[in-house]
Amino acid sequence: MSEARSNQHLLSVENLRVEFPTRRGTLVAVDRISFHIDEGEVLGVVGESGAGKSLTGAAIIGLLEPPGRVAEGNIVFDGERIDDIGYEKMRRLRGNQIAMIFQDPLTSLNPLFTVGRQLTETIRTHVSIDERKARVRAIELLNEVGIPAADRRVDQYPHEFSGGMRQRVVIALALAVNPRLIIADEPTTALDVSIQAQIITLLKRLCREHGTSVMLITHDMGVIAETADRVAVMYAGRIVEIGPVGDVIKRASHPYTRGLMNSIPVIRQDIEQLVQIDGSMPRLTDIPPGCAFNPRCPKVFETCRTERPELVDVGATKAACWLYDYARRPGAGSTT
């Protein structure tokens, strides 16, 4: 980050807890997580399905489906707390300052309207310009995200675009009023590998040219390695490791992160069987005490089963693991 940049983070999330009340009790889907995103930074959020990645993004932008709720913590955007600002103010913030890109572009596009109409309505909702200027801006946006013959395709409907082109339209919608933060929730998962690479390249270029910050939610470490500046690894609603992407990938500290990295095949190696992490992510109704990863962890010892570890410095990264939290570990100074 530039030394000239303000010490204030663009987005700060502190001790966020997301709950779902049920008849059988309250389920904790996101359990007291904290992180920040700076201006122009790409933060990757990675983990298996059910880790709480998408719910974290939805909580930030105020799109939690009832009965989900933010039960604890603060979400601060550009110095202002936004988790308690009310529906109308959040709706204006969502359009002007924060945008979201969903995994399936069809959930963001109305099949009954042309992409041009959807773009111009989005622009005119937040910017005071006439229909003609809004249409010109819509065509400019389609050109910017790499849609050929934009002046013609602006009058086409979503079903007339391929999956990759629809995702480009969604990115154009997200950029329509120059937001400062984009939350991209699995933006490449539904696309084939070659189109994924194009979308990743597009996101990187747009961040560089617009100075936009991105929270990139994915389960794909390859996408994170290619795109992110820093990465937060989530497991069972908690952040287990966070730090610069190069350090996390090359020198993973938490056993779960190591497992994720070891499960990625290396093209130059001839192996008979891929490495895997035994077991599966626990259900919200059955998250174990202590470290949530302890039933699957090859390094587990007794403290892991009873006490929750907090994030501590491990070189350039932070990891929530008793292997490194010597100060709080019972019997500190002993070896395991």
Question: Does residue 2 sit in helix, strand or coil?
Answer: coil
CB 248 within 8 A of CB 241: yes
What pLDDT shows up at residue 188? 82
Q: What is the pTM of this model?
A: 0.90
Per-residue pLDDT tens digits for 190-240: 778 888 888 888 888 877 888 899 999 998 888 888 889 999 999 999 999
CB 213 within 8 A of CB 41: yes
How far is CA 124 from each of CA 121, 166, 178, 298, rounded to the nearest angstrom? Answer: 5, 21, 13, 55
What pLDDT shows up at residue 330? 62
Structural domains in the chain, CATH included, are 11-106+157-319 (3.40.50.300)
- The pLDDT tens digits along the chain (336 residues) read 334 344 689 999 999 999 999 998 999 999 999 999 999 999 999 999 999 999 999 999 999 999 999 999 999 999 999 999 988 899 889 878 999 998 888 888 999 999 999 999 999 988 899 999 999 999 999 998 999 999 999 999 999 999 889 999 999 999 888 899 999 999 887 778 888 888 888 888 877 888 899 999 998 888 888 889 999 999 999 999 999 999 999 999 999 999 998 877 776 767 676 778 889 999 999 999 999 999 999 999 999 999 999 999 999 999 999 999 876 666 554 444
Residue 183's H or E segment, with its range, is strand 181-185
Pair of tokens at residue 301: 């010892």
Question: Does residue 27 sit in helix, strand or coil?
Answer: strand
- Other CB atoms within 10 A of residue 111 CB: 8
Question: Terminus-to-terminus CA distance in the chain, angstroms?
Answer: 38
> Residue 26: CB partners within 8 Å, gap ≥ 6?
19, 20
Euclidean distance between CA atoms 91 and 63, whole angstroms: 10
Pair of tokens at residue 30: 């996101």
